[in-house]
Structure 1
Amino acid sequence: MLKGLELRRDVIETAQGLVRARLNSSTWGNISVRDPENGGFFITPSGMDYDKLTPEDIVLVDFDGRVIEGIRKPSTETPMHALFYRERPDIGAVVHTHSIYATTMAVLKKEIPPVIAELAAGVGGSVPVADYATFGTLELGASALKAMGNKRAVLLQNHGVVAMGNNLVEAGRLAAIVEDAAQIYYLAQVIGTPTMVPADELDKLYQAFQKGYGQK
């Protein structure tokens, strides 16, 4: 019997949801979730269409990126995900997307400032940009960690977005918030000069979101 069947299904549901939301397309990006029971994490396979995934296609790997169970080759970004889980014990899930507006900001190497309360609440401030590193390398993960600090979202220069959460729902939601904020920031600049969430509100919003949002 497959280990972590429900978590595998959750990974597939999240991957397909990101495609429907136009945050990813086809095989782009990658999704993972920590598996405390087996001491590793589940991750999407490399180069497979999300709409065709089955639980057997999701790969269980350890925190060094070695396959524990799976018939597929794991995502090329497995080293990055493994590093995140090793270095960020507070994180339960990771979503990597190539959404249009946020990736545009990554190409410009411009952080996304806290133009909406949702971003301030989800990230605690701006979304930083990690220096460029080749995809599929440990260096990419290290660059992302350095730029991110203790935040839960980061832009990867000339590449895309990483969003994290306690679970897949939170990580996927934050990826959507980052994309919305990037689009709103872009449109606001077209019309005029954007205003920001006041600096003294940032930590207040972030703490309130962490403690009280949703049915807990």
Structure 2
Amino acid sequence: MSALGLNQGTAGNVSARWGDRLLITPSGLPYGQMEAADIVDLGFDGRTDHPLAPSSEWRFHRDILRERPDVEAVVHAHPTYCTAFAMCRREIPAAHYMIAAAGGPTVRCGDYALFGTEALSRHALAALEGRTCCLLANHGMIATGPSLDRALWLAVELETLCRQYAVALQVGTPVILSDAEVAEALERFKSYGPRPKPG
């Protein structure tokens, strides 16, 4: 995430479904020092025998993976433009067709709650209803996907969309796509995005 410009320091976290458990980055360990053995395996009951503590945000990772069978991986980060809109508690409208990557005509901004809490998990689930990504008020963003590669791709696309929308607001008044135009883009997106190389 650091190399992609999504994160810095020890902020942010990543998880992936692993059978009837999930794998999640540990709490407080800088990414540059992290090794495969440091990834925490966590039960859906929130328990682990791993010597490192799971990310403080394990709850919304667990709840998203539990409630959304279509999701196999979750990326949470604090990239600059996503976080700026989250600080303003503003959703991202359909000012560009790439909004289709979010799964609907907006990227919602979930309500504020303290990090790591059950309340934040509830707000995240509500903001993600019918969507693949969201902002978290005064916090950052969440991107999901059917694979870790796809979730990371979406996280980058969301930060790009937020950056473009921020610039467009400085240039003038962005024109918002109609519901029909968004629906057309959503249909096209069923076969859009990163795919494994054939063969």
What TM-score do the two structures reach when normalised by structure 2? Answer: 0.93
| Aligned with residue 3 of structure 2, among 17, 20, 32 | 20
Amino acid at match of 2:45: D
| Aligned with residue 191 of structure 1, among 164, 167, 171 | 171
Matched, 1:176 2:156: yes
Matched, 1:47 2:28: yes
Cα distance in 2, alignment partners of residues 111 and 98 from structure 1: 16
Q: What is the Cα deviation at residue 208 of structure 1?
A: 2.5
Equivalent residues in 2 for 1:86-101, closer than 5 Å: 86-101=66-81
Q: Any conservation in 2 of the 1:31–1:44 contact (CA below 8 Å)? A: yes
Q: Any conservation in 2 of the 1:79–1:138 contact (CA below 8 Å)? A: yes
| Aligned with residue 132 of structure 1, among 112, 123, 128 | 112
Q: 1:207 to 1:35 in 2, by over 3 A?
A: farther
Q: What is the Cα deviation at residue 62 of structure 1?
A: 1.2
Q: What is the Cα deviation at residue 207 of structure 1?
A: 3.1
Match of 1:113 in 2: 93
1:206 aligned counterpart, secondary structure:
helix
1:19 aligned counterpart, secondary structure:
coil
Q: 1:212 to 1:108 in 2, by over 3 A?
A: closer
Q: Any conservation in 2 of the 1:163–1:174 contact (CA below 8 Å)? A: yes
What TM-score do the two structures reach when normalised by structure 1? Answer: 0.86
| Aligned with residue 53 of structure 2, among 73, 78, 93 | 73
2:175 aligned counterpart, secondary structure:
coil
Q: What is the Cα deviation at residue 214 of structure 1?
A: 4.2
Matched, 1:56 2:42: no
Cα distance in 2, alignment partners of residues 210 and 63 from structure 1: 30
Cα distance in 1, alignment partners of residues 142 and 21 from structure 2: 19
Q: Which has the higher helix share?
A: 1
- Cα-to-partner distance string for 1:73-92 (whole Å, 9 max, x where unaligned): 11000111111111111100
Amino acid at match of 1:112: I
Structure 1: 5+ residue runs without aligned partners? 1-17
Which is further off, 117-126 or 21-30?
Answer: 117-126
Q: CA RMSD in A?
A: 1.5
Count of residue pairs brought into register by the alignment = 196
Q: Any conservation in 2 of the 1:83–1:138 contact (CA below 8 Å)? A: no
Identity %: 37
- Cα-to-partner distance string for 1:36-60 (whole Å, 9 max, x where unaligned): 2xx1110000000101111110000
Match of 1:33 in 2: 16
Cα distance in 2, alignment partners of residues 63 and 197 from structure 1: 40
